Amino acid sequence: MLTNNSIYDLPEDHLVRILNNEHQTILAHLDGIDHLRQDIYSLNSPVDHPELFVKLISLTERLMTVSKHHEREEKVLFPELLKADAGNHLEVLTSEHHFLTEYKLKFFNHINDLSAMDFKSYKLQMNFMANGIIGILREHIYLENTAVFPIAVKIITDDNRWLEMNQRFKEIGSFFE
């Protein structure tokens, strides 16, 4: 199994290292959303700390930009694993990508519409949706980091194959762009 130390032993431009680094960024965004969720949930009124809503909207917008990350996994890494008959979990992970894309949009729309319902109901729904996104995405990332990536590094041993994959990876682009 690939450990964090061995991930960082990979070249910086290796797609598994890039994906892992992006996962760290996504996890940091989730931590930020989790803290903001807690802070907002404790408010009596949205006017008490409006800056919290601005921060939550900003982090959620950023989280919604990970579609290129998912696309690179689905179009570059996952097909290579399927070719090697090492596609355990890939159907579930792809399904989660699609579910999370829709769910994050619903969450984003909800947090942007404070006037849609009373503040107590707003907070309850925001809390429920945030917990769902945070929980699913953390587990999703954990599975990719501890199962999918180590298998990929173990079974794809041809450096030329990795170079070709990196080229396709770059053509899709990064969610940091």
End-to-end CA distance of the chain: 31
**pTM greater than the 0.85 cutoff:** yes
3-state helix/strand/coil string of 105-153: HHHHHHHCCHHHCCHHHHHHHHHHHHHHHHHHHHHHHHHHHHHHHHHHH
- Our measurement of the distance from residue 74's CA atom to the centroid of its chain's CA atoms, rounded to an integer in Å, reads 13
Q: Give the Cα separation of 89 and 122 in Å (integer).
A: 35
Using CA atoms of 8, 13, 19, 24 in order, give the dihedral in degrees to the nearest 10: 50
Q: Give me the tens of pLDDT residue by residue for the chain, a chain 177 residues long.
A: 445 557 778 888 899 999 999 999 999 999 999 999 999 999 999 999 999 999 999 999 999 889 899 999 999 999 999 988 887 789 999 999 999 999 999 999 999 998 878 999 999 999 999 999 999 999 999 999 999 999 999 999 899 999 999 999 989 988 765
Q: Which domains does the chain have, with CATH numbers?
A: 12-172 (1.20.120.520)
